[in-house]
Amino acid sequence: MHPLLPSLVAAGLYAGATAYQGLRLARREIPRKGLLALLVAIALFFHGASLFLQLHAVAGLALDFFNAASLIAYSAILLTLLACARIPVENLLLLFLPLGCITVLFAQFLPSGTVQPIDEEPGILAHILLSILAYGMLTIAVFQSLLLLLQDHQLKNKHPSGLIKNFPPLQTMESLLFGFLWAGWALLSASLISGWLFFEDLFAQHLVHKTLLACLAWVVFAVLLWGRHQLGWRGHKAIRWTLAGFCLLMLAYFGSKLVREFILHI
């Protein structure tokens, strides 16, 4: 089966779910949670089918730049949808669904760079899975921090939009942010540990930049969580540290992949 059809269906469903949620919020109405969850779940099914077909290669896992972006978007949407069953984070979908639509189309239609298929040994696959889940969870944390920043700004200026009026209280939004950060940091820790265990040399030429930047991101998130616990960090300071750690993490993964696949062709 060719991945074109599931990619187009997934993109269409993501776009439809975004339009539905956006229009309801613009009218200051709460979207029907069941209908939104159903649309997103079906979109995830087709997105997953597309990823399975694109990632599977004869020599191993074809995790090129755009497939990786699509996979991380998929994991972020899936984790958010699962979280919606217990905590009020439906508004995050309004940001993630367009991201899913864009990345699934990019993975389908844009040319991939030069990439060596990844050996599908269980240890390596476990490391990749933990890394993708960590990136997905920390992506959720970053988008949550941006929504928190928007909510704080509009409440201070006393001009809350229809979107903001459907948010939980500011304190709840902040608690959710740190919950996502703790989960993402734990997954990132497990990812780094699995890398040390299953890769022969994490400081080999093609891995050294990724390893160093990922470790720096780990330190940034660790300091942020320590600052929250010991010093009560919150608000803009917490958001700045979150964005700094995320930028390091994305530079570690996508920066190195961009250079290797599209510039150095290795």
Sign of CA dihedral 240, 137, 25, 167: negative
Distance from C-alpha of 82 to C-alpha of 74, rounded to nearest angstrom: 12
| pLDDT one-digit tens code per residue, 141-161 | 999 999 888 888 887 777 666
pLDDT classification of 86: cutoffs 50, 70, 90: confident
Domain extents in the chain: 1-117, 121-266
Query: Phi and psi of 93, rounded to 5°?
Result: -60, -30
pLDDT at res. 122: 76
Contact criterion met (CB below 8 Å) for 46 and 6:
yes
Q: What is the mean pLDDT of residues 231-235?
A: 88
Distance from C-alpha of 68 to C-alpha of 80, rounded to nearest angstrom: 18
Q: What is the mean pLDDT of residues 11-34?
A: 91
| pLDDT one-digit tens code per residue, 90-136 | 889 999 999 999 999 999 998 766 566 666 677 888 888 898 999 99
Contact criterion met (CB below 8 Å) for 151 and 167:
yes
Contact criterion met (CB below 8 Å) for 84 and 33:
yes
| pLDDT one-digit tens code per residue, 153-188 | 887 777 666 566 677 788 888 999 999 999 999 999
DSSP the chain: --THHHHHHHHHHHHHHHHHHHHHHHTT-PPPHHHHHHHHHHHHHHHHHHHHHHHEETTEE---HHHHHHHHHHHHHHHHHHHHTTSS-GGGHHHHHHHHHHHHHHHHHSPP---PPBP--HHHHHHHHHHHHHHHHHHHHHHHHHHHHHHHHHHHTT---HHHHTSPPHHHHHHHHHHHHHHHHHHHHHHHHHHHHH-S-TTSTTTHHHHHHHHHHHHHHHHHHHHHHHH---HHHHHHHHHHHHHHHHIIIIIHHHIIIIII--
For the entire predicted model, the pTM comes to 0.87
Q: What is the mean pLDDT of residues 14-37?
A: 91
Mean pLDDT rounded to a whole number for the chain? 86
Contact criterion met (CB below 8 Å) for 117 and 59:
yes
